[in-house]
Structures are given as structure tokens and as C-alpha cells.
Amino acid sequence: MKPYYLCLSLILLAVSCQEKPAPEPNRVVQQEARARMDSLLQSLVASGKVAGVSSLVYEKGQEAYFGAYGYANREDSIPMARNTLVQIFSMTKPLTGTALMSVYETGAFALDDSLAQYAPEFAGMQVYKGVDEHGQMQTEPARSAITIRDITRHTAGFPNRTEIPGLGDALAEAAPLAKEKTLSEMAATFGKLPLWFHPGTQWEYGPSVDVQAFLVERLSGMPFDDYLQQEVLGPLGMTDTRRVVPPADRERFSAMYRLEEDGSLTQIPDSLSKIEHFQAWPLQRGGWGMTSSLDDYMRFARMLLGRGTLNGVQVLKPETVALMATNHLPDSVTERAWLPSKGQVGFGIDFAVRTAPPAGPQENNGAVGEFFWDGAASTLFWVDPQNELAAVLFVQLFPYDPIRLHKNFRDAVYGPYVPPATQNAE
């Protein structure tokens, strides 16, 4: 071959090697999305806004992305890794809902049954009306009973704020969620407190999922954590998802960080941030309290994406998962606290459920029909049946998502906002 043609061949070969790979048909996570996710996570660490962050995405039954950047413990130079343990806080709630719905599948209750039918502690509830001129709390009988559906969608009315005049003081004094209490003692305490509002009339995030854990315990006859292990965590092989982190695993237990108002990042002492996880406490809360790893929680998300089954192991029936991922909030429930900040969503059984596309580029990206939840330390997961996709995002950052991480990560996965298609005017 002449030198001219040899050089030309080499040039053409080099050019062809630099060409972009062919698009993967019908996939959300392609090369551009992976590059966006890498860039976002790296930039967060480089900017000092987070110490460490990681994510795992599955699409169409395969791992589509994994990334881990920064440190699980910046001060001790321990990298953020795939097996790093984090506190998932309210991402415990969907686990509890799954346990409750496995009891539901046995025929033990119906969603619209009165809670008091199975837990007399909640019979004859009173509802807060306010305080009189002397600051004394005023109440009235509940107009309807708390249903099990109410405790799965946060419409039961349990108080959760100490600043409510009169009721807040009573809540603080009773301390129903003190970690020294059992679930039965917690339920008895809540049963004696007035509700904040009439059941079924408002959405207000609170201790409803702790009451779910109590109900699981009451109906199954087993301690809640034992039931959760037997029916959900064990079958799914979720060996890293637990309340107490044993000494042998504490090296991979992430530190917790707080983003201060001046933009600095401060590590919260382990003696404060991890006290719940260094020993067992009587209260086995359903609303929070678990730790997990990326792959562990992804097994749970993939089970939901698989309509209740993962690798041949069925945890829930397909129709039960569909019921959980359906909006249960009627239009009459107009008071929804901060739920609208999540986007065009309703609420199912321990998940927010996307009911419409994002109304604009400022809203969280996502597909209609997805269901998701997050945690106080800025963790996030979602399940997107439309695209056969599940995502888990781990970080340990307080206060809750001060850097719009969830919005930016969703944009990295799905790409720039695209307005919903409109019909041409006839």
C-alpha cells in the first residue's frame, strides 16, 4: 500500500473511533445522560456543597449508570463507595408500606376499614379546634373515623408540630415518638391526643407510617422489625438495610453533613447523627430509622418496578403494587402542605405519584405514573414504569436538599425540559 493511502486509512480510522456511539433505541440513559450525571455529581463535590454523593440507575432490567464521588467521611478520607451505608430516614416509609400491604394481601383488612376496628386505641377520637381566651385547648368529636387508607396517605390528622397553640404543648409533653417507647405505647399515646384536623380532610406529613408499623405488629402478632425482615428485607436479600449498624460495618457508615448559611460544609458529630443506629431502641418506627446501601435499596426499587417480583421472588402481587402507585388523594383534599413542591403529584400508599408532566422547567422532571419518595438527609429514589427505570440517589446532607440536588439530578437523567405536546388548532 502506498504511503499516501496508508496515511489516509489511518486518518479515517482515527476519525471513526472518535464518532459518537450509535444511540440506544428507546432508552433514557444513554451516553449523554451518563455524562450529565457524572458532571453533576463531580461538580457538587468539587464545589464543596456535598462531601460525597452516589447514584445507581437501572433501566430495562440492566444497570444503566453507577457513580460515586467524594467522601463518605471527608475528615477521615474514606471515599464514597458503592457499599457505603447511609441513613435513609423517610425512605424507610415505602418499606413499611410494603410490609403493611403484604398483610393486606392476606385479607386481614380493607383500606377503608376503620383503624379502631383493629386498634381500639383510636376509637372516639377528638379533633383540635383551637384555644380559648385563657389558652386552653378546645376540641370536638371527629366527624369520621380514621381509616387505614388515611394512615397510608397522610390524611389521618395526627399532630406533628410543637408550634400548634395548645396542641403542640400537649404533643411535646406526651412525646409519643420517644425512642424509649414501644409501638404499642406510641399508639396508646397518640390515641389520647386530639387530632390536628378531621380525618380525610387534609394532607399533612406526619407519624401515620409509624402507626402503620404498629398495625403490622398488631395484625401479624410479630414485632414490626421481625415481620419486615421476614416478608420484605429477607426475601429481597437486603442485608444492608437495618436499624443497628454492627461494629464491623461502621467503617463504611457515612458521616452526616450540614450545609451552613455561609456555604461551608460541617460534619455533624457521630454522637448526634448516629445515636439511633449504634444500639437497638424499643421504638421500631415505620416512618424512619433504617440504613441502607445503594444496591440494597435498588433491589427494593427493582422489585417495585417488577410489579412486586425480583429475580423470581414475589413480595407483593402486581395489583397490590399498582394500588400503592395510584393517587389516593381526592380533589376535595386541597390543603396539602408542601406536597405540591414535589411537582404535579398526588399521593398513593407511602409514595408520591406523578399525575401530570412537569408544568415548566422549574419543576422536578419525570414521567407520568412514576412513584417516589425521599429522605431528610436529601436521599431520593423513584420508580418510572413508563420507561422501565428505577433510580437511587444517596447523599448525607442537611438541611433537606438545600442545593436543588433532586431537581438537577432528575434533569441529568431525563435531559432538558420538553413542554408537553399540544394539539394543533383546527
Is residue 235 packed enough to be buried (19+ CB in 10 Å), middle (13-18) or exposed (0-12)?
Answer: middle
Helix (H/G/I), strand (E/B), else coil: 308: coil
Cα distance between residue 119 and residue 121, in whole Å:
5
**Domains held by the chain: number:** 2
Query: Which of 204, 220, 236 marks a domain boundary?
Result: 220
Residue 244 lies in a domain: yes
Question: Between the CA of residue 389 and those of 44, 225, 306, 382, 403, what are the distances in Å?
Answer: 24, 29, 10, 8, 24
DSSP 21: P
Give the integer Cα–Cα distance in Å for 94 and 381: 10
Per-residue pLDDT of the chain (426 residues; tens, 9 = 90+): 444 444 434 444 444 444 555 566 789 999 999 999 999 999 999 999 999 999 999 999 999 999 999 999 999 999 999 999 999 999 999 999 999 999 999 999 999 999 999 999 999 999 999 999 998 999 999 999 999 999 999 999 999 999 999 999 999 999 999 999 999 999 999 999 999 999 999 999 999 999 999 999 999 999 999 999 999 999 999 999 999 999 999 999 999 999 999 999 999 999 999 999 999 999 999 999 999 999 999 999 999 999 999 999 999 999 999 999 999 999 999 999 999 999 999 999 999 999 999 999 999 999 999 999 999 999 999 999 999 999 999 999 999 999 999 999 999 999 998 887 643 334
- For residue 313, being part of any structural domain is answered with yes
Single residue among 187, 220, 253 that ends a domain in this structure? 220
Q: And the C-alpha cell for 15?
A: 476519525
CATH number, residue 296: 3.40.710.10
Rounded CA-CA distance 164/298 in Å is: 38
Q: What is the pLDDT at residue 20?
A: 53
The values of phi and psi at residue 170, to 5°, are -65, -40
Tell me how far the alpha carbon of residue 406 is from its chain's centroid: 12
In a shared domain, residues 114 and 207: yes
Neighbours of 284 (CB within 10 A): 24
Task: Indicate whether 134 and 229 sit together in one domain.
Answer: no
Same domain (yes/no): 265, 408? yes
Query: Do 295 and 258 lie in a common domain?
Result: yes
Indicate if 252 and 296 belong to the same structural domain.
yes
Same domain (yes/no): 74, 105: no
Domain assignment present for residue 396? The answer is: yes
Question: 241 and 216, same structural domain?
Answer: no
Opening angle at CA 178, ends 175 and 181, nearest 5: 110
Geometric angle at alpha carbon 321, from 315 and 326, rounded to 5°? 165
Contact criterion met (CB below 8 Å) for 105 and 349: no
For residue 236, being part of any structural domain is answered with: yes
Are both 49 and 111 inside the same structural domain? no
Tell me if 270 is assigned to some domain: yes
Short-list 150, 167, 151, CA closest to 286: 151
User: Model-level pTM?
Assistant: 0.93
Residues 400, 277 share a domain = yes
- Domain hosting residue 284, numbered range: 31-94+222-414
Burial of residue 106 (CB within 10 Å: 0-12, 13-18, 19+) is exposed
40 contacts: CB under 8 Å, gap ≥ 6: 408, 409, 412
Q: Mind giving me the DSSP string for 192-213?
A: HSPBSS-TTSB---STHHHHHH
Percent of residues in the chain assigned helix, strand, coil, to nearest 5? 35, 20, 45
In a domain, 423, yes or no: no
Q: Are residues 263 and 167 in the same domain?
A: no
pLDDT of residue 21: 56
- Which alpha helices (DSSP H) does 88-203 contain, by range? 93-104, 148-153, 167-174, 183-192
Domain boundary among 220, 247, 267: 220
Q: Is residue 312 part of a domain?
A: yes
426 lies in a domain?
no
Q: Residue 23 has what pLDDT?
A: 64
Same domain membership, residue 160 and residue 249: no
Same domain, 356 and 258: yes
